[in-house]
Amino acid sequence: MEGFVVNGGVDSIVKGHSSRTISSRSLVVISSGARVTAIDLKKRLQSERGRGPSGGFPKAFGGKKFGTVVVWLRDELRLDDNVALDRAYEDATNLIVVVIYGHDRMQWRAANFMRDSISDLRQSLRSQGSDLILRRGKPEDILPEFCKQTNAEALYYYRGKNQRKMKAADDVGAKMEDLGVRCFYDFEDTLYDFKTIKFPESEVPEDCHAFTERMKDVEVPSPRQRPKRIPPCPRNLDRGILPEIEDLAFPESNNNSSVRKTPIGGETTALARLKQFVLGKTKKPPLEGGTNQDIEFGAFNAYIALGCISPRRIYENVMKDVSKASMRRYCTCFDLQLADFLTFLELKRLKHPKPVGALPSPL
């Protein structure tokens, strides 16, 4: 039997190959009477080059660093201004977005809000032709096996804002290192860019007012736009099912009446709320005998906590569209700066712990 082998652009005739013979470095097309054109060969060659060792997981091409990477999201349940997702999109041919649940329990209302947020993120990814992969268990157990299953070359994630989150991320990173999977976690989900701050963490003020005064001349980076298109997930990959509230909440926190009062979670709702907020349509009802309240502390705190919206996106819209004289502008900026202050303070105390017995400074 006679056929053509395409290898590095060189065509030659080979004999004695069966129709099933396909090498990882050369593509053998058997001539069985049908006309095989150069275009057919080119398409087939590109298809083979785009596959990974297990089939369906593409190798790097088009100037990308990696073939398949995994983006692990925890408290960053959004597509807009998501630095880890954006970097992975720039670096890899194929990316798989993963959320792992069930290892951190929370109150019933928070669990309901988180379930909404996960569901909304999945719908957003599906609208772009991709999907959200859901797994239940401990990240340090799930992610190593998942990366092996998908032949992932790198893992992108946020390290976290507190000691517990950081430790969990470091445990995952240690296991990834054993597998030879590269980890990228130097991302920040904060208002200010930590890397541009000129004073060291040891000099971070320990009261919020002094911190805001120190930061008033620091520029807030512009938010990134969401990727225009996220590559689709491999077809043979199990997507996982949405968690029930019982999978996320403490059993003793069951309170159905409080669930009904919980705001709807998710990036879609957060961005819609931001749009209404800057138009002044979210004011609280007037007090008895009073006028509408323009003071709105904590308007986005629940959405920021799960990363349904970026602090920089809120800041950009509020500074652009809300009057300087509005208390809503002042309240929002204070909330964002307070969140950054607490994050900086946590990092400072982790790297520069106080002596035993020292009293913490008041906020």
Say which residue, 292 or 123, is predicted with more confidence: 123
Contacts made by residues 45-51, CB under 8 angstroms, sequence distance 24+: 45/6, 48/22, 48/24, 50/93
Residue 118: is it exposed, middle or buried by C-beta count within 10 angstroms (0-12/13-18/19+)?
A: buried
Identify the CA nearest to 72 among candidates 196, 194, 225, 175.
Answer: 175
Task: Give tens-digit pLDDT for 332-342.
Answer: 999 999 999 99
Find the mean pLDDT for residues 233-245.
91
Position 260 pLDDT exceeds 60: no
% residues pLDDT > 90 (the chain):
43
Name which of 45, 55, 4 is nearest 25 in CA terms: 45
Residue 285 binned pLDDT confidence (cut-offs 50, 70, 90) = low
> Distances in Å between the alpha carbon of 353 and those of 122, 207, 348, 349?
40, 16, 8, 5
**pLDDT reported for residue 291:** 47
- Give the N- to C-terminal CA distance of the chain in Å, as an integer: 82
pLDDT of 20 over the 50 cut = no
Residue 50's pLDDT is 37
Instruction: Report how far residue 161's alpha carbon sits from residue 190's, in angstroms, rounded to the nearest whole number.
Output: 9
What average pLDDT does this structure show over 48-66?
A: 52
Higher per-residue confidence, 362 vs 237: 237
Q: What is the mean pLDDT of residues 268-296?
A: 70
Contact (Cβ atoms closer than 8 angstroms) between residue 100 and residue 137: yes
The proportion of the chain whose per-residue pLDDT surpasses 70, expressed as a percent, equals 71
**How is residue 63 written in tokens?**
């100037």
Predicted confidence band of residue 263 (pLDDT cuts 50, 70, 90): confident
Q: Using CA atoms, how far apart are residues 67 and 57, in angstroms rounded to an integer?
A: 8
**Mean pLDDT of the 171-179 span:** 92
3-state SS, one letter per residue, for the chain: CEEEEEECCEEEEEECCCCCCCCCCCEEEECCCCCCCHHHHHHHHHHHHCCCCCCCCCCCCCCCCEEEEEEEECCCCCCCCCHHHHHHHHHEEEEEEEEEECCCCECHHHHHHHHHHHHHHHHHHHHCCCCEEEEECCHHHHHHHHHHHHCCCEEEECCCCCHHHHHHHHHHHHHHHHHCCEEECCCCCCCCCHHHCCCCHHHCCCCHHHHHHHHCCCCCCCCCCCCCCCCCCCCCCCCCCCCCHHHHECHHHCCHHHHHCCCCCCHHHHHHHHHHHHCCCCCECCCCCCCCECCCCCCCHHHHHCCCCCHHHHHHHHHHHCCCCCHHHHHHHHHHHHHHHHHHHHHHHHHCCCCCCCCCCCC
Asked whether the predicted pLDDT for residue 164 surpasses 60, the reply is yes
Structure tokens at 268: 């879609």
- Residue 253's pLDDT band, with cuts at 50, 70 and 90, is low
Q: What is the pLDDT of residue 220?
A: 93
Task: Kindly report the average pLDDT of the chain as a whole number.
Answer: 77
